[in-house]
Structure 1
C-alpha cells in the first residue's frame, strides 16, 4: 500500500473519533484501547476498484474504520490488495515479499479475498476446464493460509467468499455460472476451516440489493454502499471472535 493511500485511510478512520461527543470520550476513566494491526490481502475488491474503474475505498478501508469507531487503537493498516491478482500472485507474495511477510508477522488481523480472477480467467480462455481453476485456488490458498500461520500463529485470519459478480446475466447464463461460484466458495470455506481461519460469506447480502451494490451491469465491482456491506459482514464475524 502506498504511503498516501495508507495515510488517507488512517485519517478517514481517525476522523470518526474526532466526531464523538466530548462527554462520550471524557466521562469517567477511559477503558484501555485494544491495539489492532490490520493487513488486507487480495484482489481488486480489497484494493477498492469502483464500478467505473477507479480505485477508491474498498471493504478493507471501511473495515479499518469499524475498528476505530469501536474504540480500538488502529496502530497500523496495510492494504496490499492488487487489481487482477490471482491466487498464484498472492501465494508468491506470501512466500517471497519481505515487506508483506514483515507486516503479517506484526499483524493482529488479516483479511483475504482471492480466487475469483483465477476462475474468471479460465472462463475466458478455457471454459470447458473451469473447474481446474477452482482446484488450483484450493492448493494455492492452502499454501497462503498455512504460511501465514507459520509466520504469525496468533494472527486472526478472515477469508472472504465471493458474491455473484454477474447478477444481470440471463437465467441460462446464471445456471452455468452459479454452480462454479458455489464450488469456488466451498473450496475457500473448506481450506479456511482446515487452517482454523474464519470464512466470511458475502453472496446472500450482496444479492439482496444487487442493483444498488453492483450498479454497472458491465462491471463486477461494488459501489461504495456495496463495499460497506462487505465490511459489515467481516465485522460481524470479527465481533464473534473477540
Structure 2
C-alpha cells in the first residue's frame, strides 16, 4: 500500500468513526419529545359551565373535565379560569366580556375558550315570549363573540348548543318545545359560524341516555356522567387543533 492509499484509508476510517457518535446523538435527539403545547383555558357561561349538579350543589362540570383532558393528553395547562355562574344570562356574560377587567385580561391571554349561555334567557320565557328571548340571545352572543375576537384574534372558541332539559314532558308538550330548541340552537350555531368559532352540539348526545345524564326529573342539570359526555364531545373538536 502506497502512502496515498494508506492516507485515504485512514481518512475513510476516521470519517466512519466520526460519523458513529453523530448518528447515535441524532437518534437520541429524534426520540426527544417536543415541549407540550401550553394552554390557558377560560370557561364562560351559566350553571352548566359552573358544574351545578342535579341536586343543587356545584361539583365537577364539563369544563373541569375538559381541563383534565388537557392534562391527560400532555398539554401544559398553565391556567384554567372558570367564570361560569349559575343563573347567568347572555346579558350577564356580555357585560363580563365588555366590562370586567379581570375577565377581559384572561380572555386576552387565553388559548382556548368554551361558552354555554342562553338557557336562562329562554327557559323562563318558554310560555310567554320565546321568540324575544331567542332574539336577545342571538344579539348578545354576537357581541360576546365579536368582543372576544377583538381582544384575542387567535384564541380558539367553542360554543355549546343546548340539550332538551325536559325529556319527561308529554308528547304534546315536546311538540311545542323541540321546535323552539331547534331554532335556539340554530341561532347559537349561526353566531359561532359568523365569528369563525366552533359549535358543539349536545342535543342528540344527551337524548341517547336521558335517564343517566338527567337523573333528577325536577332539575335540568347534568349528572357527572352527563358532564363527562359533554366534555368528550368538546374534546373531539379541541384535540385536532393541536396538530394545526
TM-score, length of structure 2 as denominator length: 0.85
CA drift of 1:31 comes to: 2.8
Shift of 1:129: 2.0
Detail structure 1 runs of 4+ shifted over 3 Å in the superposition. none
Partner of 1:46: 49
Deviations, residues 140-189 of structure 1 (Å, cap 9, x unaligned): 00000000000000000000000110111111111111111111100000
> Equivalent residue for 1:131?
131
CA distance in 2, matches of 1:199, 1:30: 32
What is the Cα deviation at residue 130 of structure 1?
1.1
Runs of 5+ in structure 2 lacking a partner?
Answer: 1-30
1:199-210 matches, cutoff 5 A: 199-210=199-210
Partner of 1:156: 156
2:219 aligned with 1:216, yes or no? no
The answer to which of 231-240 and 32-41 deviates more is: 231-240
Give the distance between the partners of 1:146 and 1:120, measured in 2 at CA.
Answer: 25
- Give the counterpart of 1:96 among 91, 96, 99: 99
Q: Which residue of 2 aligns with 1:78?
A: 81
Report the Cα distance in structure 2 between the residues aligned to 1:85 and 1:238, rounded to whole angstroms.
25
Structure 1 unaligned blocks of 5 or more = 1-27
Corresponding residue for residue 177 of structure 2:
177
Q: Match of 2:198?
A: 198
| Structure (1 or 2) with the larger CA radius of gyration | 2
In structure 1, how many angstroms separate the alpha carbons of the residues matched to 2:70 and 2:204? Answer: 24
When normalised by structure 1's length, the TM-score is: 0.86
Looking at structure 2, the residues matched to 237 and 205 of structure 1 have their Cα atoms a distance apart, in angstroms, of 15
Higher mean C-alpha displacement, 66-75 vs 29-38: 29-38
SS of 1:158's partner is strand
Using the alignment, how far apart are the partners of 1:58 and 1:128 within structure 2? 30
Q: How many Å apart are 1:239 and its aligned residue?
A: 2.1
Aligned length: 212
